[in-house]
Chains A and B, each alone.
Chain A
Amino acid sequence: MLIFLRKIRKSLIESGSTRKYVLYAIGEIALVVIGILIALQINNWNDQLISKRIEQKLLDGIKEELLVNKNQLEDVILNHEVAVDCSRKVLELYHHDIQTLDSEVVDSLVDGIISYWTFNPRLGFIKSIISSGRLGHIKNERLLTLLSQFEDQVHDATEGQDWAIDLWKVALASFSEITYQQLLIRG
């Protein structure tokens, strides 16, 4: 190809026609530009292909982590709904005649509150995507927004359970102390 072009250029110079040579030069420049554009396009396609492969791997990992967390959270919510119901029923007992309380019912309600599961999500993969800057490979804007909010949402969801557990411990400690003081007075 280069030899062919060189021959044309040589013959045009020898013919002494400036107009033909200028036209030839424009044609050669156009060929070079087209060549560069094709190379850039191929490079772009290649980059897109690599990015798509990375995105697919990231999506597979996100899916796996989300599925594990979703299944766990569904179980935890069921457990917490029982605990909420039990604590509501315990509160209702305060407005009943204490002498008529059924100890088995009380025990069952207390069991319901005590067996309060905590949600411990797996966040390693999603965190690693964010910290390593690979989030840019994900194209879906809505997914990007949700992923960037995910850790905060998990924090909000687990904050409530931590407070509830702390208050339960305070309530028990408070009650134990009162009982102890009452025993001392009686003694």
Chain B
Amino acid sequence: MKNNQYNTSLIQSIFKADYIGFFSDRTVESLIAQMHGWQNNGVDEERELLISMKEMLTIVENEISN
């Protein structure tokens, strides 16, 4: 697990310089909407993976104890 290698200070400065401009830009809004969609899908896939991993762990633990 790692945090993304963003230049956070640069991003913050972009927002602080003109966050009102950011929220007036419909292109950016559309991109953020797409990003939100991908994030949602990503979290759903991650939850499915977690369920699968938990099932595997249960089976493995049962097999080890038998």
Contact = CB atoms under 8 A, between A and B. Distances in A.
A binds B: yes
Interface of A: 55-56, 59-60, 62-63, 66-67, 69-70, 72-77, 80-81, 83-84, 87-88, 90-91, 93-94, 98-99, 101, 103, 106-107, 110-111, 114-120, 139-140, 142-143, 146-147, 149-150, 153-154, 156-161, 163-165, 167-168, 170-172, 174-176, 178-179, 182
A163 B64 contact: no
Given A103-B19, A164-B38, A62 B4 contact: no
Interface residues of B, number: 53
Nearest to B61: A63
Interface of B: 1-4, 6, 8, 11-12, 14-25, 27-29, 31-36, 38-50, 52-57, 59-61, 63-64
A137 B31 CA distance: 48
The CB with the most chain A CB atoms within 10 A, among B29, B33, B42, is that of B42
